[in-house]
Amino acid sequence: MPTIHRARGFRFVIYFNDHMPVHVHAIAGPEMARITLEDPDGDTVIEFATDGISPRELRWLRKEVADHRDKIFWEWSRIHG
């Protein structure tokens, strides 16, 4: 699972055998959130998050993914073709 981005203690990863829609897993220790990118011009959606991630961190994660949308789409295409 390649790490495509790091920020505030989170690693943002894309699994090799993952499924559509385009999404990343944000991991910090035992905590994890899955953030989906609806489409290149759409919004980000938190699909899943462990209980240890605060609402404030979830808002930040959505913004971080939105801010790096182009990089995430590029990495997804590179990994999944």
- Which of 42-61 are b and which e, b meaning 16 or more Cβ less than 10 Å from the residue's Cβ? eebebeebeeebeeebeebb
Domain spans, the chain: 3-80
Q: In this predicted structure, what is the pLDDT of residue 8? A: 97
Query: What does each C-alpha distance from 11 to 3, 41, 42, 61, 81 come to in angstroms?
Result: 6, 24, 23, 11, 22
Does the predicted model carry a pTM greater than 0.85?
A: yes
pLDDT digits (tens, 9 = 90+) for 20-38: 999 999 999 999 999 999 7
Q: What is the chain's length? A: 81
Q: In this predicted structure, what is the pLDDT of residue 69? A: 92
The DSSP bridge partners found for residue 31 are 28
